Structure 1
Amino acid sequence: MKMVVLIPSYEPDVRLINLIEDLQASIPGMPIVVVDDGSGESYGELFKQVVQLGCMLLTHKTNLGKGRALKTGFNYIRSHMKTEGAVCADSDGQHLPTDIKKIAEAVREYPGRIVMGSRRFTGKVPLRSNFGNTLTRKMYAFSTGVKLYDTQTGLRGYPAHMLDWLCELNGERFEYEMNMLLEAPGAGYALHEIPIDTVYLDENKSSHFHPIKDSVRVYMPIVKFIASSLSSFTIDFVLLFILQLISGHLLFAVVGARLGSSIVNFSLNQKFVFRKGSRASSSASLTKSLPKYYALVVIVLLLNYAFLHLLNINLGVPLLVAKLLTEAVLFLFSYWSQRKFVY
């Protein structure tokens, strides 16, 4: 069995043909699957060349997004081909055949991992690419506790046993690849980076990544968590002062406020933030995530009370200020814990 190269393509140019020819010259016999993601009739002649070169061509009638194109390719490979795995590469000439071969060899060497071609971003790198990668790298590390040098690389390799999982992941467009990185640790898949060359042609103008619209999709899981946390924080904040006013007992107020806000927070996170797969799979995960969530609630509650007691009672910091400082610290801890252990 051999590795398969999967190339999602939308409105490509001659660089797609050049990539295929270079791959066939440097890695003879490696099967190549190309997904035309609704490029349209004007690209028909170019895709005819793809077929003439011996590639399998899969076609979307309309543009469905990179994530859907990848899943179309993964589904075809798992259903119709016997292979060791798949290496995904972009069609715009940014991934060299030598690096594609390097990733394929690494998938064989590390069969339990997602292998990523990691660019070093040296030399002349377009500003939007450099900024985007830096921001995404830092947000991913904050979200998962996992440090990656290049979270946006399109050159990735997967062993065959991951194909079912890859077909079930949420995401239709560029957010699909970020969802993959967010879900991989929880699914038991480690991430392994292999250094590759950084190639940007014409200031990366051929990229179909829209800086605003697609960045919103990529960062949406983190944005939704922040919104969920702010909602539950507001409830917790109001309840704390109401219960403190009624009872005059700090511990009772902290416990009551946290209980009420945790119910809201769990519901929002389960349904909207860390949602995985179908409703059925989401329901099945409820019994697993709920005990872990409330174990975390107890830990956060104890830390919350300890910090509030230290700041408010011992140091005399006003309750409002103490609450804000405490929540800022525990927000980071809570997000990391829920992403890594709960959901």
Structure 2
Amino acid sequence: MEAPCSFSPPVALIPAYKPEPAVLDIARALLASEEISDVVVVNDGSGAEYDTLFQELADMGATVLRHYTNLGKGMALRTGLNHIACAFPHSVGVVTLDADGQHLAKDVLAVAARLLKIPRALIMGCRRFGVNTPLRSRVGNNTTRRVMRLLAGLNVSDTQTGLRGIPLFFVPRLLRLRTTGYDFELDMLIQAKKDHVPLVELPIETVYIDGNRSSHFHPLLDSMKIYLVFLRYNLSSLLTAGVDYAVFMICAMLGLSLASAMALGRVCSWVVNYGINRTFVFKSEKGYWQSLVPYLLFEISMALVSYIAIDSLYRSLAFNVYGAKVLVETSLYLLTFTVQREIVFGPSSRPGTAYDLTEAPALSREKDE
């Protein structure tokens, strides 16, 4: 899918907090290339001692935006994205890169070229993680990759890469994200999946300077922020499971039959679960009835399966009824979560919507050329 002639090359965006001097070299190289329209640098509250470096960037022709105080990488990206969307409305999009010198100019230009070629895809410049990769980067990425595949249904080899080609039409959606730190980049991937924006991976050279010491990614604190993106998927399930179990126990202690106790527990939990999942967890854009009908059909089916399994454990294997319920409901959790995410509350695939990209694959990986 070739870009229309009216598109101008992408703009490079560098969020910078106490950047390394190497940012000067890569900015100079990008400004000299024809594949990049302009370079925008966001000084994310680096402090007065970095004013000279940012002035050098401005003197060489880069646009320098400034945060009065450090607001986080996500906010720096949003500031830059907003400026570029306003100042370069005919650009194909934005190529983001880090300010620590770990992204080579040739890789940035390769991502820019791929974005021009596939202007409605999110291009991911993905690193290769081997034995020479710093431990915190290797472990952090592998863990996040597995969590994202399990909870968000996305199989991305490098979830934390800062080198990305973002199509301009996707920018308004990103500006509405609320995350402000490194978790913004994970939210971007989740939003891309929701909006049917295909991901295209492009292998890039892996560069770590002094064991990646210049990175401002704090493994413990920032990893916790990143996983909070996924935690919201589970809070609703924990709450509704608690409601279900509490009502079930009360009914059982009052002498109601297993079927009656389960039915009352499920009905109470459905009221809570549907509202929270539709509005806050999956943030579904489907109409009320469009999601409620499949939700009820699926949940009724799961309730029948759960009842049969619990009854079998209770009667045939002499399980404690409360323990049997916990075992069965836990076993069905991932299936329930996946069906709700992909089908019940998943994005509508109606032709003609702004983000319906049926001509492109959901995820592809480009091989080295």
TM-score by shorter chain over 0.5: yes
In structure 1, what is the equivalent of residue 99 of structure 2? 91
What amino acid is aligned across from residue 323 of structure 2 in structure 1?
Answer: V
What amino acid is aligned across from residue 335 of structure 1 in structure 2?
Answer: F
In structure 1, what is the equivalent of residue 170 of structure 2? 162
Q: Secondary structure at the match of 1:93?
A: coil
Alpha-carbon distance in 1 for matches of 2:312, 2:115: 51
Alpha-carbon distance in 1 for matches of 2:132, 2:296: 49
Change (3 A) 1:164 1:304: same
In structure 2, what is the equivalent of residue 66 of structure 1? 73
Matched, 1:54 2:56: no
In structure 1, what is the equivalent of residue 5 of structure 2? none
Q: Secondary structure at the match of 2:219?
A: coil
Higher deviation after alignment, 108-117 or 140-149: 108-117
Alpha-carbon distance in 2 for matches of 1:241, 1:29: 63
Q: Is the 8 A contact 2:115 2:165 kept in 1?
A: yes
Alpha-carbon distance in 2 for matches of 1:217, 1:171: 9
In structure 2, what is the equivalent of residue 172 of structure 1? 180
Cα distance, 1:323 vs structure 2: 1.3
Match of 1:194 among 197, 202, 210: 202
Q: Is the 8 A contact 2:17 2:43 kept in 1?
A: yes
Cα distance, 1:39 vs structure 2: 1.2
Tell me which protein shows more helix as a share of its residues: 1
In structure 2, what is the equivalent of residue 306 of structure 1? 308
Cα distance, 1:340 vs structure 2: 2.9
Cα distance, 1:287 vs structure 2: 6.4
Alpha-carbon distance in 2 for matches of 1:111, 1:299: 42
Q: Is the 8 A contact 1:221 1:274 kept in 2?
A: no
Q: Is the 8 A contact 1:170 1:179 kept in 2?
A: no
Change (3 A) 1:143 1:246: same
Alpha-carbon distance in 2 for matches of 1:170, 1:312: 46
Matched, 1:336 2:346: no
Alpha-carbon distance in 2 for matches of 1:63, 1:53: 24
Q: Is the 8 A contact 2:94 2:168 kept in 1?
A: yes
Q: Which runs of 5+ in 1 are unaligned?
A: 277-281
Q: What is the TM-score with the length of structure 1 in the denominator? A: 0.89
Q: Is the 8 A contact 1:26 1:97 kept in 2?
A: no
Q: Deviations over 1:295-319 (max 9, x none)?
A: 4433432332233234334554332
Matched, 1:326 2:328: yes
Matched, 1:237 2:237: no
Alpha-carbon distance in 2 for matches of 1:147, 1:72: 28
Match of 1:132 among 121, 126, 140: 140
Alpha-carbon distance in 2 for matches of 1:29, 1:320: 62
**In the comparison of the two structures, how many residue pairs are matched?**
337
Alpha-carbon distance in 2 for matches of 1:287, 1:221: 27
Match of 1:39 among 36, 43, 46: 46
Q: Which runs of 5+ in 2 are unaligned?
A: 1-7, 347-369
Q: Is the 8 A contact 2:74 2:181 kept in 1?
A: yes
